[in-house]
Amino acid sequence: MFRTDLGGTRYVFPDLKTLLAKATPKRSGDELAGIAAASRAERVAAQIALADVPLRRFLDEAVVPYETDEVTRLIVDSHDPEAFRPIAHLTVGGFRDWLLSDAADAEALAALAPGLTPEMVAAVSKICRNQDLILIAAKRRVVTRFRTTVGLPGRLSARLQPNHPTDDPAGILASIVDGLLLGSGDAVIGINPAGDSPERCRELLMMIDDIRRALDVPTQSCVLTHITTTIGLIETGAPVDLPFQSIAGTEAANRSFGIDLAILKEGNDAARSLKRGTVGDEVMYFETGQGSALSANAHHGVDQQTVEARAYAVARAFSPFLVNTVVGFIGPEYLYDGKQILRAGLEDHVCAKLLGVPMGCDVCYTNHAEADQDDMDVLLLSLAAAGVNFVMGLPGADDIMLGYQSTSFHDVMATRSMLGLKPAPEFEAWLLKVGLMDEAGRIAPSTALPDAFRRLLPAPSERAA
């Protein structure tokens, strides 16, 4: 039991799960679940109590039962006590102070990661202000490799997302060409298919692979279909670079996605066996997002931010190439407005990085959320300053297939320009080689379309027809 006396009132929290939920900065999903603090005073009282909790307590009290949840078993059984030893004497508040100190440099944070649990990093994030979340995350780089190297200091990569409402090849090709010309696509060219049949997914994989080879562009492809479909496509010889799967922080929530840890391992092993990477062999692409466990009624009374951090333990087990939180995609029922989306995006990013997960972010909102593009500008710049591995690049920031607002190719260009960031080194070298970037790092210094791109596009007579 935990307690705090504040303003003449004694606040009591019966267990760690309740304390974490009450200490969470306000968000609509926890209110929907009935586990949020009832007042600002109760939230502050919970944060004060949480700051005094020894980190060792998180090893003794599981927020989701070990006996019935394989994610909890993964977290507990993979914990490294030797890596944990340097901070084993600290409380949550002491851990925050250490993270903000000069002692917590890149090397120390990398060594510490196997000793941290999702609940520890979720707890410390709850007593950090936004500036703390940015400062801590900026110290920690998680670098991954396939055909490009993503996550290096001074770099910002982008997923080129050429979704189309009917999977029309001409529309997808136009978006891919547009994105590459504007310097997006070094993280992945990733399509959310409108149709999810194996035949459609194979066609899209073949299309991206043909474009990649025709342009000799160093990047990787992904069709974001269910991992069991991808496993089947690998078995039939389809050109799969990165298997995709949405994941969550409880066994029951993952079951609602039609997966478990064994299926994820099967997909990871199958893709690695193809050896299609040129500079590395990390292959998995995971997406997460606060609220997914609640929407599946699989949150076990745990707040959505802590459950989200548990999803990163799932990701970490497979050494993925890319992970991103689709932070505002799930809607205002879980993150009500721009303020909550901003806070959640920064929390997700720092928690993932502390656990050693290569985190990107879909800086986004749905059309019925109390948010707009100004909110996304603030989140995008904050994450870029914090060293986010990658963000999304869409034509006009508008996903016309999924029906939500994200970030555009031009947003990526503007952010790189403002903060002096570059694409992944292999992709940067390609942009220079084909004349799409000058030595100063400026995109499209010439209006001439390179011949390799011109050959991909239909002739004017065909377009007129």
Binding residues: 159-161, 192-193, 245, 287, 295, 362, 401
**CB-CB contact of 290 with 29 (8 Å):** yes
**CB-CB contact of 183 with 194 (8 Å):** no
Which of these, 125, 149, 126, lies nearest to 137 by C-alpha position?
Answer: 125
Give the HSE-up count for residue 368: Cα atoms under 13 Å, Cβ half-sphere. 6
Which of these, 140, 142, 160, lies nearest to 150 by C-alpha position?
Answer: 142
Determine the residue type at 164.
H
Consecutive H or E run containing 160: strand 157-160
Report the C-alpha gap between 189 and 158 in whole angstroms.
9
**CB-CB contact of 288 with 246 (8 Å):** yes
Would you say how long the chain is, in residues? 465
Annotated binding site for adenosylcob(III)alamin: 193, 245, 295, 401
Token pair of 308 as six digits: 């989200």
Token pair of 174 as six digits: 């136009």
Q: Are strands 365-366 and 390-393 parallel, antiparallel or unpaired?
A: unpaired
Annotated binding site for substrate: 159-161, 192, 287, 362
**CB-CB contact of 36 with 24 (8 Å):** yes
Which of these, 102, 80, 171, lies nearest to 394 by C-alpha position?
Answer: 171
Sorted by sequence, the CB contacts under 8 Å of residue 164 that are 6+ apart come out as 171, 172, 175, 194, 400, 401
